[in-house]
Amino acid sequence: MKHIIFFSLLFFKLILCQGQESFFVSTETRYWDAARTYTGYTLFGTRGTSYLIDMEGHVIHTWNIGTNPRFTEAGTLIDAAGGDPSHSNTWKELDWNGNIVWQYTEARSGYWPHHDFEKIYNPKRGDSTFIYIANKDLTSQQCLDAGCDPANNYTGAQMDVIVEVDRKGNVIWEWSFFDHTVQDLYPAKPNYGVIKNSPGRIDINMTGNPVKSDWLHCNSLDYNQQLDMIVINSVQGEFYVIDHGNTFIVNNPDSSKKLAASTAGDFLFRFGDPARYDMGNPPSVLANWTKATTGHKQIGGAHNIQWIRPGLPGAGNFLIFNNSENLFELTPQSYIVEINPYLNASGVNTGKFVNPPSAGYNIVSSPDPNLMKEKKNVSKQIVWMFSSKNNTSFYSTIGSSAQRLPNGNTMVCSMNDGHFFEVAPTDTAIVWEYINPMTRSGIKKVKADNYPTFNGVFRAYRYTSDHPALTGHTLTAGNTMTGVTPNYYTPASLNLIRIKEIELNPEGMLNQNYPNPFNESTNITFELENPKQVSIIIYDLNGNIIRALYDRNCDAGKYTLNWDGTSDNGGNVSDGTYYYIMKADEKQISKKMIYLK
Q: Over the stretch 144-178, which tens digit does the pLDDT of each residue have?
A: 999 999 999 999 999 999 999 999 999 999 999 99
In a domain, 12, yes or no: no
Q: In which band, very low, low, confident or very high, does the pLDDT at 501 lie, cut at 50, 70 and 90?
A: very low
Q: Distance of CA 288 to CAs 163, 254, 369, Å?
A: 47, 56, 19
Q: What does the pLDDT look like over 107-141, one tens digit per residue?
A: 999 999 999 999 999 999 999 999 999 999 999 99
Output the pLDDT for position 134.
98
Range list of β-strands (E), 373-479: 376-379, 382-386, 401-404, 410-414, 419-423, 430-435, 438-439, 442-443, 446-447, 460-463
DSSP for 182-248, please give it.
Answer: EBSS-TTSTTB--GGG-TTSEETT-TT--S-TTSS-EEEEEEETTTTEEEEEETTTEEEEEESGGG-
User: Do 257 and 312 have their domain in common?
Assistant: no
User: Do 256 and 167 have their domain in common?
Assistant: yes
The Cα–Cα gap between 74 and 55 comes to 24
Tell me which DSSP letter residue 283 carries. P
Average of pLDDT values for 89-99? 97
In a domain, 28, yes or no: no
Average of pLDDT values for 233-243? 97
Output the pLDDT for position 582.
87
Output the pLDDT for position 119.
98
Q: Quick check: helix, strand or coil at residue 575?
A: coil
Output the pLDDT for position 42.
98
Output the pLDDT for position 24.
86
User: Do 351 and 376 have their domain in common?
Assistant: yes
Average of pLDDT values for 558-569? 92
Q: What does the pLDDT look like over 9-34, one tens digit per residue?
A: 333 333 344 444 568 889 999 999 99
Output the pLDDT for position 584.
83
Output the pLDDT for position 262.
98
The Cα–Cα gap between 42 and 63 comes to 14
pTM score, two decimals?
Answer: 0.82
Q: Could you tell me how far CA 565 lies from the centroid of its own chain?
A: 36
Confidence check: pLDDT of 184 > 90: yes
Q: In which band, very low, low, confident or very high, does the pLDDT at 5 lie, cut at 50, 70 and 90?
A: very low
User: Do 242 and 105 have their domain in common?
Assistant: yes
Average of pLDDT values for 275-295? 92
Confidence check: pLDDT of 495 > 90: no
Confidence check: pLDDT of 446 > 60: yes
Query: If we measure between CA atoms, which residue out of 260, 248, 232, 243 comes closest to residue 160?
Result: 232
Output the pLDDT for position 586.
67
What does the buried/exposed string (b/e) look like for 15-39 if buried means 16 or more CB atoms within 10 Å of the residue's CB?
ebbbbbeeeebbbbbbbbbeebbbb
The Cα–Cα gap between 296 and 377 comes to 6
Average of pLDDT values for 385-401? 94
Q: In which band, very low, low, confident or very high, does the pLDDT at 83 lie, cut at 50, 70 and 90?
A: confident
Long-range contacts of 470-474 (CB under 8 A, 24+ apart): 470/41, 470/71, 471/75, 473/61, 473/96
In a domain, 194, yes or no: yes
Confidence check: pLDDT of 497 > 90: no
Beta partners for 321?
303, 336
Average of pLDDT values for 91-118? 97
In a domain, 159, yes or no: yes
Burial of 370 (0-12, 13-18, 19+ CB in 10 A): exposed
Last residue of a domain, one of 343, 375, 398: 398
Look at 62-66, 227-231, 381-385, 448-452 and tell me which has the smallest mean pLDDT. 448-452
In a domain, 59, yes or no: no
- Comparing 123 with 569, the larger pLDDT belongs to 123
Residue type, 584: A
- Total number of domains in the chain: 3
User: Do 301 and 258 have their domain in common?
Assistant: no
User: Do 157 and 181 have their domain in common?
Assistant: yes
Confidence check: pLDDT of 77 > 60: yes
Do the Cβ atoms of 176 and 197 come closer than 8 Å? no
In a domain, 476, yes or no: no
Residue span of the structural domain in which 504 resides: 499-595
Last residue of a domain, one of 271, 299, 316: 271
Do the Cβ atoms of 444 and 26 come closer than 8 Å? no
User: Do 515 and 543 have their domain in common?
Assistant: yes
Long-range contacts of 231-234 (CB under 8 A, 24+ apart): 231/305, 231/306, 231/307, 231/318, 232/133, 232/160, 232/162, 232/305, 233/302, 233/303, 233/304, 233/305, 233/320, 234/160
Query: If we measure between CA atoms, which residue out of 105, 342, 121 comes closest to residue 225?
Result: 121
Average of pLDDT values for 493-522? 66
Average of pLDDT values for 266-276? 98
Output the pLDDT for position 596.
79
Query: If we measure between CA atoms, which residue out of 480, 271, 500 comes closest to residue 382?
Result: 271
The Cα–Cα gap between 303 and 229 comes to 18
The Cα–Cα gap between 234 and 215 comes to 9
- Comparing 51 with 541, the larger pLDDT belongs to 51
In a domain, 353, yes or no: yes
In a domain, 207, yes or no: yes
Output the pLDDT for position 490.
87
The Cα–Cα gap between 520 and 460 comes to 35
- Comparing 444 with 508, the larger pLDDT belongs to 444
Helix residue ranges, H only, 356-397: 356-359
The Cα–Cα gap between 283 and 298 comes to 10
Confidence check: pLDDT of 4 > 90: no
Confidence check: pLDDT of 291 > 90: no
Look at 41-50, 400-409, 445-454, 456-465 and tell me which has the smallest mean pLDDT. 445-454
User: Do 288 and 311 have their domain in common?
Assistant: yes
User: Do 289 and 234 have their domain in common?
Assistant: no
The Cα–Cα gap between 422 and 94 comes to 28
Last residue of a domain, one of 381, 398, 415: 398
Average of pLDDT values for 330-350? 96
User: Do 137 and 255 have their domain in common?
Assistant: yes
Confidence check: pLDDT of 502 > 50: no
Confidence check: pLDDT of 336 > 80: yes
On average, the pLDDT of the chain sits at: 91
The top-scoring range by mean pLDDT among 208-222, 275-289, 579-593 is 208-222
Q: What does the pLDDT look like over 523-560, one tens digit per residue?
A: 999 888 888 888 899 988 767 889 999 988 899 899 99
Confidence check: pLDDT of 444 > 70: yes
Do the Cβ atoms of 431 and 409 come closer than 8 Å? yes
What does the buried/exposed string (b/e) look like for 340-357 if buried means 16 or more CB atoms within 10 Å of the residue's CB?
bbbbbeeeeeeeeebbbb
Q: What are phi and psi of 42, to 5 degrees?
A: -110, 130
Query: If we measure between CA atoms, which residue out of 386, 405, 336 comes closest to residue 38?
Result: 405
Counting residues of the chain whose pLDDT is more than 70, the rounded percentage is: 94
User: Do 300 and 192 have their domain in common?
Assistant: no
Look at 278-282, 370-374, 432-436 and tell me which has the smallest mean pLDDT. 370-374
The Cα–Cα gap between 79 and 101 comes to 12
Query: If we measure between CA atoms, which residue out of 521, 509, 499, 501 comes closest to residue 565?
Result: 521
Residue type, 18: Q
Do the Cβ atoms of 201 and 191 come closer than 8 Å? yes
User: Do 252 and 107 have their domain in common?
Assistant: yes
- Residue 520's domain is classified under what CATH number? 2.60.40.1930
Q: Quick check: helix, strand or coil at residue 139?
A: coil
